[in-house]
Structure 1
Amino acid sequence: MDKSAPLLTIITPTFNAASTIVRCMENVQQQTFKDFIHLIVDGVSSDETLSLIANFQGRNENIEVMSGKDKGVYDAMNKGIKVARSSWLFFLGSDDYFYTNTVLNDIAPLLQKRNSGILYGDVYYKKYGRIYDGYFDMEKILKRNICHQAVFYHSSVFETLGYYSLKYKTESDYHFHLRCWLKGEFEIVYFPLVVAYYSEGGISDHSRDRALVEDYPDIVLDAVLTSKRTFLEKVNLSSKVYRKIVQRYSLAYLPGYIFKTQFMAGRLLAFTWMVVSFPYHLITKKLVK
């Protein structure tokens, strides 16, 4: 990484965002920590978005813009990742903004100490008027997605796992996060800080991605079974995955995933462990409630 490069790149995808982009840029520039680039990736907006950005860019040297046709927001995010020069990356929607003007100042010392992995906090979810959503363990990430406006990614994460899949139009970030958590390739650290206000206008807020729903069992099992975890760790985690598949779909789905030739011994042990540990899971779940 270039020593002259900033610590952080804030990537904001835009398309016809004239009504929100100025507020977003103003909010970013109000951060007391300044070692960042605000990279705006525009999809050739037909409204005033680009002219508003150009006007603001003239007064702020740390704003960079690239504009070109893309295949949607995740394609724009991928383009931003590929040109970013920083060690750390953060994605901020044009209609989202930082919770306070000291967020980056609070998080920067933690970023500076690490040369890999993921650091995440919380967001304030305006639609429901609450903070979302604390620490994400394996059980939780299997159940629901973390908001990517709360996540800081080291550039090596994308070098290791690749970019956002364009197959999933509204929940490619969930697909990516599942692989991040389940593969266990790098450290993932929770920091109890509200990072941003999250607008209900996000694309993954409206409905489930049907392609992801259909591929979910294969995604999570492949991530676990091809990970660098120990055999017993794979068995234990796969049993949680099987339980989640049963909860999301039905018991009829399991045979197709248990009796595949690849990793069959691990799959069978994981299924056995799921059955044996299921009563314990129910008891502890009730105790937690």
Structure 2
Amino acid sequence: MRFSIIVVCLNAGEKLYSTLDSILKQTNKDYEVVIKDGLSTDDSVSKLQSKLLDGTLGELVPSSKDSSQDKLKERIHIYSEKDKSIYDAMNQAVRYAEGEYYIFLNCGDLFASETVLEDMAKAMDKEADIYYGDMIRSGCDQVIASYPEITDFVCYRNIPCHQVCFYSKKMFEERGYDLSFPIRADYEHFLWCKYEKKASFAYTGTVVCIYEGNGFSETKDNEKAALLEHKTITNRYLGKKCILYRFIMIITLQKLRKKMAESKAWAGLYQKLKGFIYGKRKA
């Protein structure tokens, strides 16, 4: 099996169904869906399980009507068990995954088109450990292009989010997400892959997902803690280079640029300027 699409949830409601609907629309069918539920109490998962078993999943997930019941039952795997956090849930899900490459979608995130898996499969010709692409941030309607090379500065500043990354399963064989970083564990794991596992990366240019935004690490309550974790992680993997990178971020008005990138009014112009500066293709 080529792909394991991992979705963790806890009382996600309709967002779970919309994400699953996006997945089942994929033209490339060489995948499984691993849904890891943290014992939801809103009936979203129990309803999904019931509809999957009795053959009426199409009432919740319209695209499922295009697949036979046997195929749906083979493809969709639901596991419910208590977890300590979103990253603990992702670690649990990995233990059930059987694909060659893993991608993690949060409830509310969508594949950007029906051919994402097909396009990624075609691009996987370099035997890279991590393939990645671009995203569209919901509400901005602009492609946010990832950097074509994963340099030290990119690792400090802005790595691709996990919703656009396809991880080789061997990136999780030795260890999963470090739960001592409750907010930035995905960031720490990415840097661990690069600096400890010496992972190889391949940028594909594929627009992978429509990212809902306002994720766990982006909430106002977690903002301060996220910054502290970022400092700890970058000091661990980048050392003294962080001093230079912090200075560069200040003099290049990083906070203003972040607001522009997330603004519907300014995002288009910002991405064009970014593409011009970094020599990226226009998406």
Unaligned 5+ runs, structure 1: 1-5, 225-237, 250-287
Q: CA deviation at 1:211?
A: 4.6
When residues 124 and 85 of structure 1 are mapped into structure 2, their CA distance, relative to the original with a 3 A threshold, is same
Q: Structure 1-normalised TM-score?
A: 0.72
Letter in 1 for 2:20: M
Q: Contact 1:123–1:131 at 8 Å: present in 2 too? A: yes
**1:204 is the counterpart of 2:199:** no
Q: Contact 1:142–1:178 at 8 Å: present in 2 too? A: no
Deviates more, 1:210-219 or 1:125-134: 210-219
When residues 52 and 185 of structure 1 are mapped into structure 2, their CA distance, relative to the original with a 3 A threshold, is same
Whole-Å separation in 1 of the counterparts to 2:209 and 2:166 = 12
Whole-Å separation in 1 of the counterparts to 2:228 and 2:247 = 14
Describe the SS at the equivalent of 2:177: coil
Q: CA deviation at 1:242?
A: 3.5
Whole-Å separation in 2 of the counterparts to 1:174 and 1:49 = 29
Q: Contact 1:78–1:163 at 8 Å: present in 2 too? A: yes
Q: CA deviation at 1:176?
A: 1.5
Which of 2, 5, 8 aligns to 1:7? It is: 2
Which of 87, 90, 104 aligns to 1:91? It is: 104
Which of 118, 143, 155 aligns to 1:131? It is: 143
Unaligned 5+ runs, structure 2: 54-68, 251-276, 279-283
2:24 corresponding residue in structure 1? 29
Q: Deviations over 1:44-89 (max 9, x none)?
A: 0001212232145333120001001111111110001122122110
Letter in 1 for 2:167: Y
Q: Deviations over 1:245-271 (max 9, x none)?
A: 55579xxxxxxxxxxxxxxxxxxxxxx
Give runs of aligned pairs for residues 102-141 of structure 1, distance below 5 A.
102-111=115-124, 114=127, 117-135=129-147, 136-138=149-151, 139-141=153-155
When residues 240 and 43 of structure 1 are mapped into structure 2, their CA distance, relative to the original with a 3 A threshold, is same
Q: Deviations over 1:160-198 (max 9, x none)?
A: 4x2112222222111222223344612111110110100
When residues 40 and 14 of structure 1 are mapped into structure 2, their CA distance, relative to the original with a 3 A threshold, is same
RMSD over aligned CA atoms reads 2.6
Q: Percent identity between the aligned chains?
A: 27
Q: Contact 2:102–2:168 at 8 Å: present in 1 too? A: yes
Task: Identify the structure with bigger relative contact order (alpha carbons < 8 Å, sequence gap 6+).
Answer: 2
1:74 corresponding residue in structure 2? 87
Whole-Å separation in 1 of the counterparts to 2:138 and 2:230 = 28
Q: Contact 1:88–1:111 at 8 Å: present in 2 too? A: no
Give runs of aligned pairs for residues 30-49 of structure 1, distance below 5 A.
30-49=25-44
Letter in 2 for 1:129: D
Q: Structure 2-normalised TM-score?
A: 0.73
When residues 85 and 137 of structure 1 are mapped into structure 2, their CA distance, relative to the original with a 3 A threshold, is closer
Q: CA deviation at 1:151?
A: 0.4
2:173 corresponding residue in structure 1? 159
Q: Which has the larger radius of gyration?
A: 1
When residues 54 and 70 of structure 1 are mapped into structure 2, their CA distance, relative to the original with a 3 A threshold, is same
**1:63 is the counterpart of 2:76:** yes
